[in-house]
Structure 1
């Protein structure tokens, strides 16, 4: 009986050994161990203290290639996301950090190698900075109105983020459309933070993210500025040109009052006895209740060019004389003659004075047919002045104009 059981146990052991050999044969021949490289396994950055540090480039990704060995059936279904690659950011500093990478593989898979074993991670300090809010006013108000300087409440936002990103921000912006408006416009608007090119900067936070904006829309009018010159230059000198910078200004105030204002004068500018050009800052003389639209505009510059005076004679004939205010159906026939006009002006432009730049005329107001001796007059553009005309009178016959009925 004992011999029977002994042989039975031996058979069982032999059967197990045969089965094991057969299993090993099948596994090695049908599902063998294979070596494989899993590429582009993403590296997870762990334990970053994001209250103090941030990735300088948040879009930067890190990868390793992992060499493993496992049964073919396991390798076939193995993916990059099944492997865990990590880099520990605890205790790191701003700037470049060379970090070791650790890799863990699933059960049944043997880790042989991976590369790179270290990655360079660049960190930025997290900083906060106040940025003023700039209000970008869009559109054109109603005719006769203009938008004054907008006011944002609060006037600044606190921006927080990586130092590089925060430093690239130039301002916080809100946009308000005032098209067709004719009164105060108030709105609560979202804030955007932008770089020097006006591109919205992401990757930062800011507070508040909404601000209240008020834009006064006021009645306006554009008027010329008239310089108030007092006195005359030194004898032998003349004012060649007067310029005001700016020559026109925008004013604001009561709408009815604005309708009656065409120009604004400066405070008096004294040129008495001057023999040289001057430039003087002069305050604007605003009527009561009227203000410059530009609140910073308190004065304008008055430039007075003064030159030595020279005289010049201009010859003309009676045919160059025009006759003004002739009665209807009448014509004037002057006696032939030669005349000399003497003008004076700045020495730099006196040579430009000729009969083409002078209006020479005689006034025939209230005269009927007959012969007359009329005073010759001349009009010259500034800064020229008429000194005399020789002879002073022209003989003229006023008669019916027979061409009038043709």
Structure 2
């Protein structure tokens, strides 16, 4: 056993020493510990207290710091200098470079000790999305009009850069395509010369879009076919329940692109979707209808498979409301005739949707009787005429007693 241990002992010792040296080297790469004597280091510059509405448009330099002292517990890689941006405003400003104190260490010098930064205000802007098509479809095929959703994005970034932008871009490759392209593409930004928009540090994005990507559909069809955008008419059947009514029924999207020969598309000006059944509904409901469930005219096809969402809006039905103390006036009195006594205020019952009735008051209701051609006397059961707020109906026909007398000379 002892002989086996002594065999190749020199190689074993050398291998052990190399392993220890490698372990020390690896640890030295990941954690540079300690400051001893007078040292000059290069450290990063960071920002503190940066206002949320301020963006730095200058690339931050590295800082050379001269330190003196002894502290074996400091990890050199954790050291940094900083600039305090508290209370800063847009424009060009000079800032002092600072460094947090370190135990048992004196900071002898920071180079540079001040830096000049260009600050810009953070703003937002809504930009339309434009689709940039690259490449060509396969031979014998052609691309139709791209459809992008959403059609615009909210962009956040430096005001000076945003002021120069009038659109956001998405790129879609059509190279060799024979079928409709359906993709989600990231939003890009280009300047007026078509170059990418960068901030002071190209690795850091200064513009952000919400959403950051959009859905794009590019129809691919055989050459020789025409395309056409047609509106969609959504249909419904049945009656809602619980005293509710159908307020509206619409399709999302509201139009669609179709392909076909010129003859097939002639006269095809609208697409009917549905009907959807709203029987018994007491709340809004969306009905998904895949395009493969819709019958198109002979020779016409959809540009791309899609799903139409038919939204049925369900609203409260008409209700009734009684309004009291409504004044009844007399119009068209004949010459020499006057009221014998005033008509007492009456109560009327109105009917309409809750929103229309909500603000209906006695002051908004005009009631009157027509005394045209009537001689002095009592007229029980005289018909009352009215003028009501929009969307409001009168329930029944109010009647009053009209008393007239000869005008005293």
TM-score (norm 1): 0.39
TM-score (norm 2): 0.39
